[in-house]
Amino acid sequence: MPAKGKHRRPKSSSSLTRGFVAAGTGSAALALPLIGATGAHAADKAAAPVAEAPVLTSQKAPAAIVPQQRTAEQAATPKTDATRTYSVVRGDHLSKIAAEKNVRGGWQKLYSDNRSVVGEDPSLILPGMKLSIGAKAPGGSSAPAAAPAEKKAAPTERKAERTTERKAERTAERKAEKAQKRAEQRTEQSRERTEQRAAKSERRTERPSQNTGSSSGFSAPVPSGVSTPYRASGGSWSSGYHTGVDFRASSGTSVKAVSAGTVVSAGWGGSYGNEVVIRHNDGRFSQYAHLSALNVRSGQSVSGGQQIGYSGSTGNSTGPHLHFEIRTGPGYGSDIDPLAYLRSNGVSI
């Protein structure tokens, strides 16, 4: 059974609701406390501004903060080195330029940054090329896309330039070689003329200091002394020794037959150079080698003291002189002492 009594109207709890209302001016927001009214309707009305407050705050605040963050990031970003332009000169190569300009990454980095300028061959750079140092060359990556025609034409132009430059270098080299040969020829001709003039002067002024002739018709081949004796040993001669004697004689000195006879041979004699071989009336043969010029021919008869040629340095010779031999036969290997032969025929030498 229900209890008796009056039904009591429930009291609405006068709870204290506190909220906040965001109020602001400009970009600043201020949260103000709000004491809410009692009751559900008052609480709902008081709660609405609270939900809107964060929206206003989140929209306004970043506008003032973001530019400051970007400015700080820009200030913290290190500045890169300024790009420099280098003009290639003759004798340059990428390794040299990279070392002199302190390029980080060496010549590979320099080539990578300037590949559109250098081309496919990093070892071939031409004077006048403009290389960017410190950053990728302007237009290095965009130029081919922007101007494909230029990309196709550039290798052809560089190839033509290289071909022209190589032709010019070869032409200059050929001209230099020809000029050098002409200079050497002129020098040789001048030397020969000087030697010939000196020989003529010597022939005009020579005064024999010794008796080089005899009443028997024998004489020395040249009016000078011996520089290398007969039978001197050494590796310079194929036989192991000197088969004759060497007389001191400058190039162009007159060479004479030691006695009358018939010319057996006159011409080139291999290592002996220009030579004359004469068969004398006593059956001996005389040889005159390394001559610069000949005045007789094979089969010709000569008299004692007759000029047969001029001394020189032809064949296997270390300098102007007269190599003289006396032989029992016309060929090599039949030699006898030439000075003893001359002395036995009355020649003082």
Q: Does the active-site annotation cover 321?
A: yes
CA distance 138 to 236: 71
The residue among 55, 127, 134, 50 whose CA lies nearest residue 93 is 127
| DSSP H or E stretch at residue 17 | strand 17-25
Q: Is 239 helix (H, G, I), strand (E, B) or coil?
A: coil
Instruction: Confirm if 255 and 308 have CB atoms less than 8 A apart.
Output: yes
Catalytic position from the list 242, 290, 321, 323: 321
CA distance 126 to 273: 53
Tally Cβ neighbours within 10 Å of residue 292.
Answer: 21
In 119-269, where does DSSP find H-type helix? Answer: 143-146, 148-205
CA distance 253 to 309: 8
Catalytic residues: 321
